[in-house]
């Protein structure tokens, strides 16, 4: 029988993380947002109490937690700063998870172990200027040359790309196989032929950094291939499935933050001689927002519950990601509305949440791609 309640251990983890986020992350937000600079030291700060390793096996320096721990962390950190959490999310749930699931022992020792300690920071490079939703149009190529692979191509929108110590990158190793001809490689930052061509300016998630990366005759040892040759697409999809559940929790955290801010504001802002929260119009908005968030949370926890048991969860992960991210967009927009003109001002966090939330409907598979996935599970 499905049981979505948190265990004592999970509750203690959530409470400690909440305190950590208020103490260590909240004070950084304003400066990072204003300067559009990522606070890289946060990785080591999170590693010290063991948060970076919460979801990873003990043998690699983690605490052996399951997907529920990732969901809790995602919700709590996104609640405080979606932008700062985005860098952590990509490091843990895309790049390091791919190494955990598909890496060889030496790769785990070289990249995963220091990644969990916060000594090495990673990025995940899948998207390209002309290939986002459609991996079949990927043009980055890797060809074998003796004991090496030589990578050529450009990757776009890569979070942490400006400063990551290594990048997990997808490249086509056999163009005749289409999507099935993609492989994954680990590329160290100092590899000749690898460069960051530009840091991108963004609408939201300003505390995170996104970059365009160029690979020009970038030679990596064949031992840097992650998983088997031509299994990169499947590996990427496998990694992303869990990432999608965590992305859903990311959206729940943002929506909760926006709702809490709107609720608090509605109780103190007077108009027509009473707090605006006394007007039924706003009460119903806040009630609908709370209901949507609860539904999003339940879908997310259900998908995490299935994933934690190794049960099939492709449909549930897509449903949770789709519903939670669209909920966040709606809730954040309503939260701005409840704040009126102040909601449009940067000094109120709801304006930041409104700008940040849109990304979650685009990254980790757009809403349209998740509708396609769900439709397929319906036999369409």
Ligand X SMILES: Cc1cc2nc3c(=O)[nH]c(=O)nc-3n(C[C@H](O)[C@H](O)[C@H](O)COP(=O)(O)OP(=O)(O)OC[C@H]3O[C@@H](n4cnc5c(N)ncnc54)[C@H](O)[C@@H]3O)c2cc1C
Residues known to be catalytic: 364
Least separation in angstroms between CB 89 and ligand X: 9
What is the distance between the alpha carbons of residues 34 and 148, in angstroms, rounded to a whole number? 42
For ligand X, the binding residue among 124, 149, 215, 301 (CB under 6 A) is: 124
Q: Which is nearer to ligand X, 60 or 93 (CB)?
A: 93
User: What tokens does 334 get?
Assistant: 């309503």
Q: d(Cα 290, Cα 312) in Å, to the nearest integer?
A: 29
Residue 157 within binding range of ligand X, rule CB under 6 A: yes
- Which of 120, 210, 220, 251 contacts ligand X by CB under 6 A? 210
Verify binding: residue 205, ligand X, rule CB under 6 A: yes
Among the residue ranges 118-126, 246-254, 259-267, 328-336, the one whose residues contact ligand X (CB under 6 A): 118-126
Report if residue 103 touches ligand X, rule: CB under 6 A.
no
Does 359 help bind ligand X (rule: CB under 6 A)? yes
Q: How far is the CB of 127 from ligand X (least distance, A)?
A: 3
Number of residues that bind ligand X (CB under 6 A): 20
Q: Is 108 helix (H, G, I), strand (E, B) or coil?
A: helix
Q: Please state the closest distance from residue 342 (CB atom) to ligand X, in A.
A: 26
Touching ligand X, residues 321-340 (CB under 6 A): none
For residue 156, the 8-state DSSP code is: E
- Does residue 362 bind ligand X (CB under 6 A)? yes
Residue corresponding to tokens 């220091």? 114
Of 230, 372, 255, 257, the residue nearest 315 (C-alpha): 372
Phi first, then psi: give them for residue 336, nearest 5 degrees.
-65, -45
Between CA 265 and CA 246, with CA 21 as vertex, the angle to 5 degrees is 95
Q: Which position among 39, 82, 83, 132 is part of the footprint of ligand X (CB under 6 A)?
A: 132
* 368 belongs to the binding site for ligand X (CB under 6 A): yes
Out of 237, 279, 366, 374, the residue judged to bind ligand X by CB under 6 A:
366
357 binds ligand X (CB under 6 A): no
283-321 burial, b for 16+ CB within 10 Å, e for fewer? eebbeebeebbeebbebbbbbbbbbbeeeebbbbbbbbb
Residue 7 is classified by DSSP as: P
Minimum Å gap between C-beta 275 and ligand X is 37
Nearer to ligand X, 10 or 231 (CB): 231
Which CB atom, from 141 or from 202, has the smaller least distance to ligand X? 202
Q: Decide: is 153 part of the binding site for ligand X (CB under 6 A).
A: no
250 binds ligand X (CB under 6 A): no
**Which sign does the torsion angle of CA 149, 155, 248, 365 carry?**
negative
Give me the half-sphere count of Cα atoms (radius 13 Å) on the Cβ side of residue 237: 15
β-bridge pairing 122-125 and 166-172: parallel
- Can you give the binding site for ligand X, defined by CB under 6 A? 90, 124-127, 132-133, 157-159, 202, 205, 210, 359, 362-363, 366, 368-369, 372
């Amino acid at each position: 029988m499905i049981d979505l309640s948190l265990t004592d251990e999970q509750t203690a983890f959530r409470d400690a993380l909440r305190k950590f986020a208020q103490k260590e992350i909240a004070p950084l937000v304003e400066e990072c947002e204003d300067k559009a600079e990522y606070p890289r030291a946060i990785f080591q700060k999170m590693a010290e109490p063991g948060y970076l390793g919460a979801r990873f096996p003990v043998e690699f320096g983690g605490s052996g937690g399951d997907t529920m721990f990732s969901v809790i962390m995602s919700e709590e950190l996104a609640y405080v700063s979606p932008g700062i959490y985005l860098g952590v999310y990509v490091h843990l749930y895309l790049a390091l998870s791919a190494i955990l699931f598909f890496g060889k022992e030496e790769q785990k020792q070289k990249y995963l172990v220091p990644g969990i300690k916060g000594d090495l920071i990673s990025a995940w490079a899948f998207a390209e200027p002309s290939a986002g939703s459609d991996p079949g149009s990927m043009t980055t190529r890797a060809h074998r040359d003796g004991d090496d692979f030589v990578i050529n191509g450009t990757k776009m929108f890569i979070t942490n790309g400006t400063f990551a110590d290594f990048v997990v990158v997808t490249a086509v190793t056999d163009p005749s196989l289409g999507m099935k001809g993609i492989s994954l490689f680990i590329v160290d930052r100092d590899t000749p032929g690898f460069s960051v061509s530009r840091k991108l300016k963004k609408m939201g998630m300003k505390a995170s950094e996104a970059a365009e990366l160029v690979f020009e005759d970038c030679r990596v040892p064949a031992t840097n291939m992650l998983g088997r040759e031509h299994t990169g697409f499947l590996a990427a999809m496998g990694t992303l499935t869990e990432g999608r559940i965590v992305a859903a929790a990311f959206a729940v955290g943002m929506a909760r933050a926006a709702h809490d801010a709107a609720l608090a504001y509605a109780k103190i802002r007077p108009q027509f001689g009473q707090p605006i929260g006394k007007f039924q119009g706003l009460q119903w908005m806040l009630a609908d927002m709370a209901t949507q968030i609860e539904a999003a949370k339940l879908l997310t926890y259900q998908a995490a519950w299935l994933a934690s048991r190794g049960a099939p969860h492709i449909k549930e992960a897509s449903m949770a990601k789709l519903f939670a991210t669209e909920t966040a967009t709606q809730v954040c927009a309503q939260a701005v509305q409840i704040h009126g003109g102040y909601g449009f001002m940067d000094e109120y966090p709801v304006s930041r949440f409104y700008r940040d939330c849109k990304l979650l409907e685009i990254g980790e598979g757009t809403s349209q791609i998740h509708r396609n996935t769900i439709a397929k599970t319906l036999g369409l």
